[in-house]
């Protein structure tokens, strides 16, 4: 769990710490990725609207709420990632439900490719930024970047094969997100690292960051970690 600020500590009963929003954000992230992967893998598109409530409210709204609480925790990466990726799912549902049918049929694939392209770039940036957090988080960002990049290429080229490959990476992404959420819940409950998250995969870059302790929150960077008492 992230270390609370001194003001947050003063308001909490003895023995309690500020809640870590990372497991909530990661679960919302994983569920949105999971349900979408099924349809990218070829599930009957006629029932695709059944995914909208989960993608909008869980993948979108809940994940953005987790991102706002990450701002309070002082986690720049967690706040940015959860808020932006939550916004992605909200935008995606709005795009599919209200925009897609209004596009010329011949341009649907290109339009969807252009919709996905900026998100692939953002995810690449988030992957680079996660180098000093945990390997689990970095791997989740990496597979998400690959997923969206492959799906973008699949839309531009109208390739069913690429979309199926994107579905495979989507399932991997969902699994990593769920593992990260599980680790965050267990480690936060026990107050120590029981489920490994492999902190600080970018330790070779240590000379660029402050000499801080290991992060206990999966989204907190080493540089953001408060010094041990």
Digitized pLDDT (tens) for each residue of the chain, 229 residues in all: 344 444 444 455 554 456 789 999 999 999 999 999 999 999 999 999 999 999 999 999 999 999 999 998 888 999 999 999 999 999 999 999 999 999 999 999 999 999 999 999 999 999 999 998 999 999 999 999 999 999 999 999 999 999 999 999 999 999 999 999 999 999 988 988 899 999 888 876 766 655 555 555 777 665 555 454 4
Helix 108-129 vs helix 135-157: crossing angle, to nearest 10: 160
Domain ranges for the chain, please list them. 18-221
- What integer pLDDT is reported at residue 59 of this predicted model? 98
Q: Residues 110, 114, 115, 120: is their CA dihedral positive or negative? A: positive
- What integer pLDDT is reported at residue 193 of this predicted model? 87
Residue 59 Cα to chain centre, angstroms: 9
- What integer pLDDT is reported at residue 73 of this predicted model? 85
Question: What is d(CA 168, CA 146) in angstroms, rounded to the nearest whole number?
Answer: 10
| pTM confidence score | 0.84
């Amino acid at each position: 769990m992230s270390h609370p600020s001194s003001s947050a500590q003063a308001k909490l009963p003895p023995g309690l710490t500020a809640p870590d929003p990372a497991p909530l954000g990661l679960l919302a992230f994983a569920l949105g990725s999971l349900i979408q992967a099924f349809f990218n893998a070829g599930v009957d598109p006629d029932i695709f609207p059944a995914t909208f409530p989960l993608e909008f409210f869980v993948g979108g709204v809940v994940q953005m709420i987790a991102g706002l609480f990450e701002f309070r925790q002082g986690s720049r990466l967690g706040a940015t990632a959860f808020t932006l990726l939550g916004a992605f799912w909200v935008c995606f549902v709005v795009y599919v439900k209200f925009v897609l049918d209004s596009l010329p049929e011949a341009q649907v694939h290109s339009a969807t490719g252009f919709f996905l392209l900026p998100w692939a770039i953002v995810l690449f940036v988030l992957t680079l930024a996660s180098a000093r957090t945990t390997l689990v988080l970095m791997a989740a960002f990496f597979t998400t970047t690959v997923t969206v990049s492959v799906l973008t290429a699949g839309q531009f080229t109208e390739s069913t094969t690429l979309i199926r490959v994107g579905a495979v990476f989507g399932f991997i992404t969902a699994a990593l997100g769920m593992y990260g959420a599980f680790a965050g819940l267990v480690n936060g409950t026990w107050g120590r690292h029981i489920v490994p998250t492999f902190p600080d995969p970018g330790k070779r870059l240590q000379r660029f960051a402050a000499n801080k302790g290991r992060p206990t929150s999966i989204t907190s960077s080493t540089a953001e970690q408060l010094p041990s008492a």
